[in-house]
Amino acid sequence: MVRRIETDYQRFRQIVRGRIKRDLRKYISNGELLGRQGKETISIPIPQIELPRFTFDTGEQDGVGQGGGDPGDPVDGDGEGGPGEAGDGEGQHTLEVDVQLDELARILGEELELPNIQPRGNADIAAERDKYTGIRRIGPESLRHFKRTYKEALKRQIAMGTYDPDNPVIIPVREDRRYRSWKVKHNPEYRAVILYMMDVSGSMGTEQKEMVRIQAFWIDTWLRYQYKDLQTVYIVHDAVAKEVTQHEFFHLRESGGTKISSAYQLCMNTIEDRFGGDEWNIYPFHFSDGDNWSGKDTSTCIQLLREQMLPISNVFCYGQVKSAYGSGQFKRDLDQAFGEDDRIITSGIPDRDGILQSIKDFLGKGR
Amino acid sequence: MNLTPELAEYHVKIRDIAREYGLDFFETIFEMLDFDQINEVAAYGGFPTRYPHWRHGMGFEQLDKGYRYGLQKIYELVINNDPCYAYLLSSNSVVENKLVIAHVYGHCDFFKNNMWFSKTDRKMMDRMANHSTRIRQLIDRHGQDPVEDLIDRAQSLENLIDLYGEFVDDKDPWLKPVVEDADAEDDRAVNLKVRSKTYMDGFMNPPEVLEARRKKIEGDAEENARLPGGPQRDLLSFILQHAPLEQWEWEVLNIIREEAIYFAPQRVTKIMNEGWASYWHRRIMVEHILDDSEVIDYADTMAGTLAEGPALNPYKIGLELFLDIEDRWNKGRFGLEYERCQDLHAREIWDTNAGLGREQIFLCRKIHNDVTFVDEYLTEEFCHRHKLFVYRFNPRTRRREIVTRDFATVKEQLIRQLANGGAPVIEAVDVNWKNRGELYLQHRHEHQDLRQDWALSTLRNLFALWKRPVHVETRLEGKPVRYSCDGEEEITQIIGDADAE
């Protein structure tokens, strides 16, 4: 039997996905996908639709709290009550989830319905791992299975009639002892590298970089979940490209012109130098606002992509962040040049709310 | 009931102990559910059968994810009905479930005896099921989308009921005959005056003051003339009576209102209800039920539910208030003599062995709601002992900061927060504004502005029901404004200058 709640739940999901009742979409509080980022954990708000009501302006409302501190001290936390839940079903909760990154990737996969990636390359790098699967009668004492040994001894004593319920002393003898046994498992492991390229020319503002940061974080999380051994390379470019550290990647602000081919060239060189051979799964990502120096350079880019980059990459992703200055021409050029080629994915990111959709575009194909 | 034999035994024991303490409740039926089932029931507000709506699905998702990710779980769920139904989570430990059973009996007693609950429908379980059937029938007849849209709209207006309205006798002023009293005018003139000796009259009732008073009364009368019986707080009922609704629309709206009215007492007695239940589970557990081996688990659970958050925890503050009242009345720390005592030391050791504590808390649970409860019993000592403070959002640092610990301010803020269930008071003042059949609402503005974008969207929903332009008058950043919706667009108009409230 379909449970009642299931119908209501499906209906809600459909509204959130925008399939029905589009006029409600504006009330969805998706929040920013990347909430607080703690040490190992992160919080993601769960989408909810709040119907408008006559209410007070909440955010800046005064309130009464309880605890230590002097006037002027911050009130930490975000104002939800204790863990109990009273029985009237009223009250708004913004659910914030603190989760481990691995768990997070799984949730991300579920939420966005991302398929698992089918790795390429021969998985000849195999990791050996011992897995304890069985029980045997001989083995080192360090692997003695206490519970099983105890059970055996108990069975034997009952059978022999030496078990006394009033004085339940169990003494295992040699034949009672049980030990854990293991098998060696060969786990194929795939290796992967992400090459992030970002346009840091004058037109990419703080907000644009922030959007790239958020998106890169999620892509990173997902791919790390899929591949155990993930390497990352960061490349920034304006008129020339250079490899930088992760910190620099997100904080550097250059200015000047934009020559995208410089980044693609550097990217290719890096791959050839360090990630050659078949065993690497290669994911180049490029983020820009879509302005390129000249049409000629764009042709160079397309040529580079077609002849060198695409044949060796799992998928090439281009994310175009909307900025006040960018013309957005580059995405159109790529789309025109590659059309239906599914080795290349382009995605426009109009604002922060578009990040989710863009991640889905990139990772939704399972390549 | 499907309790395990162990719990069933404890249940009987706890129930009998609760009775001995003088708790008085309807028969209470416990059901043990797994988390999936309890989340479903909770998403339906505790009722196994509710009308279908996506909001229940949303609630379910939140509970479900919250549980799966290990953030929260529902301890207890109890509904006000005769018999009371309560749900236990099967994965909870025995200690937790014993605690919940005791807690539930506290709630059941409160439901039955607190006067604010006295008018609620005690057969709500059946009525909700009937509502569900009816809405399903209407969906079959008129289609899911129109019915659901209407429910969306109705829910957006759901908080516009009169929370205390069930206690107003003549709910429909339109049915009340208007008595024209020939002598009324004269009475009014007399009432203007403060009673005084004849020779003092000129001083007690100076002509200009009389004039001002007369004007005010006339003004009020004019205000009232727009709606017979004066402003109407129960807007949903008002719309039911006066909006041009089709029969099925009327029915849906009425269902939403009935359910909102049913939940209203729970909105206005949150602190008391949870405090009362916590008080009793504590007493029953500690004095009778708890096994030595369970103390740690019990303390752990208690610590969880009573955690001091940055925001006020109703369980905690309610419990502490009841304990404080009991203690004060046991020691005779009330009344004029105690209030007037300035000697701090004498107050500190004050104890007349009055022993009235138990009696007093039972009286409280009978007559108070959160507002009157806090107003009456939140003392300065309590405020300091429990470290209450007022916080405010600081736009510069973008965080909330403690502003003051001053008793008067804390109390005022707390009461303001609780008044009208934390919702703004909005009344209908005119149904025929400017003689154009437009609905005019007035927000009784006290300190806080309405959230503008939501107010405008809500008006749009209201328009869909009223089918003529609707307005609400309020204040925005100190200026009187009027939000309007004529079906095409929503507009904001400033209608006066900033002045002191």
The enclosing domain of A356 has a CATH number of 3.40.50.410
| A82–B461 CB contact, under 8 Å | no
Residues A182 and A213 in one domain: no
Residue B465: per-residue pLDDT: 92
A80 → closest Cβ in B309, B410, B454? B309
Least confident of A242-251, B141-150, B177-186, B384-393: B177-186
Q: Mean pLDDT across the stretch B142-159?
A: 92
Residues A217 and A343 in one domain: yes
Residue B179: per-residue pLDDT: 45
Q: Which of A66, A95, A106 to mutate to test the interface with B (most CBs of B within 10 A)?
A: A66
| B310–A76 CB contact, under 8 Å | yes
Q: Look at residue A69 and tell me if it is in a domain.
A: no
Residue A162: per-residue pLDDT: 87
Q: How far is B401 from chain A (nearest CA, A)?
A: 4
Q: How far is B299 from chain A (nearest CA, A)?
A: 15
Question: Would the pLDDT of A7 be above 80?
Answer: yes
Tokens 């688990």 -> residue:
B297
Q: Which of A162, A186, A210 lies at the terminal end of a domain, its last residue?
A: A186
Residues A167 and A309 in one domain: no
Q: How far is A46 from chain B (nearest CA, A)?
A: 7
Q: Mean pLDDT across the stretch A293-318?
A: 85
Residues of B in contact with A103 (CB under 8 A): 69
Residues A182 and A210 in one domain: no
Residue A26: per-residue pLDDT: 67
Q: How far is A22 from chain B (nearest CA, A)?
A: 12
Q: How far is B123 from chain A (nearest CA, A)?
A: 16
Pick the residue with more confidence: A286 or A359?
Answer: A286
Confidence band for B466, pLDDT divided at 50, 70 and 90: very high
Q: Mean pLDDT across the stretch B298-304?
A: 81
| B426–A79 CB contact, under 8 Å | no
CB B33 within 8 A of CB B88: yes
B78 → closest Cβ in A12, A62, A87? A87
Using DSSP's 3-state secondary structure scheme, residue A133 falls into strand
A62 → closest Cβ in B156, B391, B455? B391
Residues A236 and A320 in one domain: yes
Q: Look at residue A86 and tell me if it is in a domain.
A: no
Q: Mean pLDDT across the stretch B175-193?
A: 50
Question: Would the pLDDT of A265 be above 60?
Answer: yes
Residue B51: per-residue pLDDT: 93
Question: Would the pLDDT of A3 be above 80?
Answer: no
Pick the residue with more confidence: A58 or A222?
Answer: A222
d(CA B363, CA B359): 6
| B452–A71 CB contact, under 8 Å | no
CB A275 within 8 A of CB A298: no
Confidence band for A46, pLDDT divided at 50, 70 and 90: low
Residue A59: per-residue pLDDT: 59
d(CA B468, CA B431): 10
- In 3D, which of A260, A246, A255, A242 has the Cα closest to residue A297? A260
Confidence band for B247, pLDDT divided at 50, 70 and 90: very high
Tokens 């059973």 -> residue:
B101
Q: How far is B409 from chain A (nearest CA, A)?
A: 10
Residues of B in contact with A48 (CB under 8 A): 58, 62
Q: Please report, rounded to a whole number, the percentage of residues in chain B having pLDDT higher than 70.
A: 89
Q: Which of A186, A208, A225 lies at the terminal end of a domain, its last residue?
A: A186
Residues A227 and A239 in one domain: yes
Confidence band for A89, pLDDT divided at 50, 70 and 90: very low
| B43–A5 CB contact, under 8 Å | yes
Question: Would the pLDDT of A82 be above 80?
Answer: no
Question: Would the pLDDT of A87 be above 50?
Answer: no
Residues A244 and A354 in one domain: yes
Tokens 């949870």 -> residue:
B274
Residues A98 and A233 in one domain: no
Q: Please report, rounded to a whole number, the percentage of residues in chain A having pLDDT higher than 70.
A: 76
Residue B130 corresponds to which tokens in the numbers above?
């009937």
- In 3D, which of B320, B286, B317, B288 has the Cα closest to residue B301? B286
| B448–A80 CB contact, under 8 Å | no
Residue A35 exposed, middle or buried by CB count within 10 Å (0-12, 13-18, 19+): middle
Q: Mean pLDDT across the stretch A147-151?
A: 93
> ipTM, 2 decimals?
0.78
Confidence band for B476, pLDDT divided at 50, 70 and 90: confident
Domain that holds residue A20: 1-51+94-113
Q: Look at residue A167 and tell me if it is in a domain.
A: yes
Pick the residue with more confidence: A180 or A290?
Answer: A180
Residues of A in contact with B150 (CB under 8 A): none
Pick the residue with more confidence: B134 or B225?
Answer: B134
d(CA A154, CA A165): 11
B54 → closest Cβ in A11, A63, A98? A11
| A8–B402 CB contact, under 8 Å | no
Q: At what angle do helices B144-156 and B124-142 cross, to 10 degrees?
A: 130
H/E run at residue A235: strand A229-237
Residues of B in contact with A87 (CB under 8 A): 46, 76-79, 107, 266
Q: How far is A115 from chain B (nearest CA, A)?
A: 21
Q: How far is A206 from chain B (nearest CA, A)?
A: 19
Question: Would the pLDDT of B325 be above 90?
Answer: yes
Residues A333 and A255 in one domain: yes
Pick the most confident of A94-108, A225-239, B308-322, B327-341: B327-341
d(CA B6, CA A350): 60
**Nearest residue on chain A to B417, judged by CA atoms?**
A63
CB A50 within 8 A of CB A56: no
Pick the residue with more confidence: B392 or A254?
Answer: B392
B451 → closest Cβ in A58, A67, A107? A58
Pick the residue with more confidence: B407 or B219?
Answer: B407
Confidence band for A58, pLDDT divided at 50, 70 and 90: low
Residue B180: per-residue pLDDT: 45
Q: Look at residue A68 and tell me if it is in a domain.
A: no
| A55–B155 CB contact, under 8 Å | no
For B435: left if phi > 0, alpha if psi spans -120 to 50, otherwise beta; the answer is: left
- Each residue's pLDDT tens digit, A189-208: 777 888 899 888 777 777 78
Q: Which of A19, A53, A78 to mutate to test the interface with B (most CBs of B within 10 A)?
A: A53
Residue A94: per-residue pLDDT: 43
Residue A66 corresponds to which tokens in the numbers above?
């309880």
DSSP H helices in A34-92: none
Residue A81: per-residue pLDDT: 32
A74 → closest Cβ in B53, B313, B399? B399
Confidence band for B343, pLDDT divided at 50, 70 and 90: confident
Q: Look at residue A280 and tell me if it is in a domain.
A: yes
Q: Look at residue A149 and tell me if it is in a domain.
A: yes
B58 → closest Cβ in A4, A12, A84? A12
d(CA A229, CA A244): 20
CB B270 within 8 A of CB B314: yes
Q: Mean pLDDT across the stretch B102-116?
A: 94
Question: Would the pLDDT of B172 be above 90?
Answer: no
| A54–B71 CB contact, under 8 Å | no
Residues A141 and A162 in one domain: yes
Q: Which of A1, A2, A5, A108 to mutate to test the interface with B (most CBs of B within 10 A)?
A: A5
Confidence band for A280, pLDDT divided at 50, 70 and 90: confident
Residue B148: per-residue pLDDT: 93
Kindly report the average pLDDT of chain B as a whole number.
85
B57 → closest Cβ in A11, A64, A83? A11
Least confident of A27-31, A193-197, B71-75, B375-379: A27-31
d(CA A348, CA A287): 10
**Nearest residue on chain A to B145, judged by CA atoms?**
A21
Question: Would the pLDDT of B184 be above 60?
Answer: no
Residues of A in contact with B45 (CB under 8 A): 88-89
Kindly report the average pLDDT of chain A as a whole number.
76
Residues A293 and A218 in one domain: yes
- Each residue's pLDDT tens digit, B27-69: 999 999 988 889 999 999 889 889 999 999 988 888 887 777 6
H/E run at residue A269: helix A260-274
- Each residue's pLDDT tens digit, A218-240: 788 788 777 777 888 898 888 88
Q: Look at residue A237 and tell me if it is in a domain.
A: yes
Q: Mean pLDDT across the stretch A122-144?
A: 78
Q: Which of A51, A58, A95 to mutate to test the interface with B (most CBs of B within 10 A)?
A: A51
Least confident of B207-216, B279-288, B483-492: B207-216
Residue A65: per-residue pLDDT: 82
Work out how many domains chain A is built from and give that number. 3
Residue B149: per-residue pLDDT: 92
Question: Would the pLDDT of B105 be above 90?
Answer: yes
CB A358 within 8 A of CB A215: yes
| B391–A64 CB contact, under 8 Å | yes
| DSSP letter assigned to residue A116 | P
Q: Look at residue A314 and tell me if it is in a domain.
A: yes
Residues A180 and A220 in one domain: no
| A90–B389 CB contact, under 8 Å | no
Residues of B in contact with A70 (CB under 8 A): 402
Least confident of A56-70, A267-281, B237-251, B317-331: A56-70
- In 3D, which of B184, B189, B195 has the Cα closest to residue B213? B189
DSSP string of B445-488, one letter each residue? --S-PBPHHHHHHHHHHHHHHH-S-EEEEEEETTEEEEEEE-SS
Tokens 């409860």 -> residue:
B373
Q: Which of A186, A209, A227 lies at the terminal end of a domain, its last residue?
A: A186
Question: Would the pLDDT of B151 be above 90?
Answer: yes
